[in-house]
Structure 1
Amino acid sequence: MTKTILAVDDSPSVRQMVRLTLTGAGYAVVEAVDGEDALQKAMARKYDAILTDQNMPRLDGLSFIRKYRASAAAVGVPIVFLSTESREDLKKQARDAGAIGWMMKPFDQAQLLAVVKKVAGA
């Protein structure tokens, strides 16, 4: 069965890179343009993993995670932050909100695949 990943980023180029990398490795990818879009999509179906940016319009990554984790739909779904920020306080907030990992942008395709395989399985 194909694993489905929700990729949340307001940058079309980042979403495209994530989609091309993951679909090339056999994953299905659903894209969300910001946290509000992601919340609607995450509540509508179960994902094998979610990758989210932090700085986005309408609803940032931390707020998205907090709102999503407050629902029963979020149980067992791993969330990984993709961000240009590396502040320890932000990483702590992300962990406290329910993220299980953090990847710094820019990242390469091999790194992305390794993280997704680790959290979602092959």
Structure 2
Amino acid sequence: MSATSYRQKYRVLLAEDDEINQQIVMAFLASAPHIELTVVGDGRSALEAALGSKYDLMLFDHNMPHITGDRVIRYLRSGNSSNAATPVVRFTADADRAEVKSRDGLIDAVLPKPLKAETFLTTIESILRRD
């Protein structure tokens, strides 16, 4: 991931209630100066952030307090939100391998927990470069 190959900053929203997982994602992205990360800790805060700002990518935990990641995603996709078409990566402890889905669906990729740096970075970089 060469910073010189990027001409813009990408705005990324991380919605994750587990502080350790938040720190893991922040550590993975520490070497990515082209990514500006916003971190929230529950579904309600994720929805508020996504309704208030435009993001290039949203990373959602599946199980979060107040509102699940899937419900937030469905709400954003169904409305006139500025993030209605923003790519989404979902984290879940229920998956055993990474799965990249088509852009037509609600979710662009599913990453299993625990997160692995190489899989995480490869997935988000490939999604950010699609546009």
Identity %: 26
Q: 1:31 to 1:57 in 2, by over 3 A?
A: same
Residue in structure 2 matched with residue 10 of structure 1 by the alignment = 17
Three-state SS of the structure 1 residue aligned to 2:30 is helix
Higher helix share: 1
**Map of 1:115 onto structure 2:** 123
Once the two structures are TM-superposed, the CA of residue 16 in structure 1 deviates from its matched residue by: 1.3
1:61 aligned partner, one-letter code: G
Greater Rg, structure 1 or structure 2?
A: 2
What is the alpha-carbon distance in structure 1 between the residues aligned to residue 30 and residue 75 of structure 2? 28
The residue aligned with 2:86 is: 77
Shift of 1:48: 0.7
| Aligned partner of residue 64 in structure 2, secondary structure | coil
For these two proteins, the number of residue pairs brought into alignment is 116
Structure of greater relative contact order (alpha carbons < 8 Å, 6+ residues apart)? 1
1:24-51 deviation digits (Å, cap 9, x = unpaired):
2121100011111011001111111011
Q: Does 1:25 align with 2:32?
A: yes
Give the deviation of 1:120 after TM superposition: 1.4
Runs of 5+ in structure 2 lacking a partner?
Answer: 1-7
Specify whether residues 65 and 75 from structure 1 end up closer, same or farther in structure 2 by C-alpha distance, changes over 3 A only.
closer
Q: What is the root-mean-square deviation of aligned Cα atoms in Å?
A: 2.2
SS of alignment partner, residue 50 of structure 1: strand
**Residue segments in structure 1 that go unaligned for 5+ positions in a row:** none
Instruction: Give the residue type in structure 2 aligned to 1:86.
Output: A
